[in-house]
């Protein structure tokens, strides 16, 4: 079971995700883990305080503005490059990839894995294009949900079920699947949802991770019991709902 801290990056700072409402995201405050929203300090604090070294980074500038404004979209790239230079960290990056070139540019930053999110993908064939030239072990498919519905700008993807997308990625040998429910981000409402459970019950050859709503170590145990291999977590860590002592006990039971 992997527990992966989340960093939502917006204009070079780590912000607090709340239900996918990105227009109200603000730099993190009142965290028991870290006293600043500066990204490297956040990573170092998670590593030192919780002994966690794998991180999911959502580059919200690229996800939101890749097609509209280079000035806005490129704000976080140098920071991500610097974070990736520290090889004690393993970084999964969702940078709003829409083309094969986007994926190559993300990996060239030095990250470990590129996350391909349905929110920004243009077609299911995109997965084939990527794995034709890039090791599928370097890519992760993110099933982005909002209120239980697939979040996708592509009409083709809107007509495709999450499970169909996941089975396609599984057949291509992707590193992992993420099921990310944006409405649950920062909500502390619990991580389970019908789409997540359906995918976890029907995928066997690659790990399934989830994001959104994790409240406690008990939630993590429930996820593990339901064949889910990892959880993306931010709020529960920052609020001290999951402690180092609990993590040590969980990983060494």
Given this model, what pLDDT does residue 93 score? Answer: 98
Given this model, what pLDDT does residue 66 score? Answer: 80
CA 124, 171, 84, 70: dihedral to nearest 10 degrees?
Answer: -10
Helices (H), 51-148: 60-65, 70-73, 77-85, 100-108, 125-133
Given this model, what pLDDT does residue 179 score? Answer: 97
| In the chain, domain spans | 2-251
How far is CA 64 from its chain centroid? 15
- The Cα 200–Cα 185 span in angstroms is 20
Given this model, what pLDDT does residue 70 score? Answer: 79
- The Cα 155–Cα 185 span in angstroms is 25
Reported pTM: 0.95
pLDDT along the chain (253 residues), means of 10: 96 87 85 96 97 97 83 92 95 96 96 97 96 98 94 92 97 98 82 95 96 94 96 95 95 85
Instruction: Say whether domain 2-251 belongs to CATH 3.40.50.300.
Output: no
Whose CA is closest to 180, among 126, 233, 108, 113? 233
Given this model, what pLDDT does residue 253 score? Answer: 76
């Amino acid at each position: 079971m992997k527990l992966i801290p989340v960093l939502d990056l917006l204009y070079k700072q780590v912000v607090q995700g709340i239900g996918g409402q990105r227009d109200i995201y603000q730099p993190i405050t009142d965290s028991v883990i870290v006293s600043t929203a500066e990204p490297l300090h956040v990573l170092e604090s998670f590593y030192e305080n919780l002994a966690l070294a794998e991180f999911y980074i959502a580059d919200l500038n690229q996800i939101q503005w890749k097609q509209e404004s280079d000035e806005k979209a490129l704000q976080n790239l140098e920071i991500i490059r610097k974070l990736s230079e520290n090889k004690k960290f393993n970084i999964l990056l969702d940078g709003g990839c829409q083309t094969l070139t986007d994926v190559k540019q993300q990996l060239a930053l030095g990250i470990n894995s590129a996350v391909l999110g349905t929110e920004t993908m243009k077609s299911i064939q995109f997965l084939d294009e990527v794995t034709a030239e890039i090791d599928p072990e370097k890519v992760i498919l993110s099933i982005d949900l909002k209120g239980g519905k697939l979040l996708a700008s592509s009409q083709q993807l809107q007509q495709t079920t999450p499970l169909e997308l996941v089975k396609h990625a599984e057949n291509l040998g992707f590193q992992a699947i993420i099921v990310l429910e944006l409405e649950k981000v920062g909500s502390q409402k619990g991580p389970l949802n019908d789409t997540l459970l359906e995918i976890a019950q029907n995928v066997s050859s690659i790990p399934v991770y989830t994001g959104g709503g994790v409240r406690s170590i008990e939630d993590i145990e429930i996820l593990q019991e339901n064949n889910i291999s990892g959880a993306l977590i931010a709020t529960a860590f920052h609020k001290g709902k999951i402690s180092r002592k609990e993590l040590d006990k969980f990983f060494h039971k």
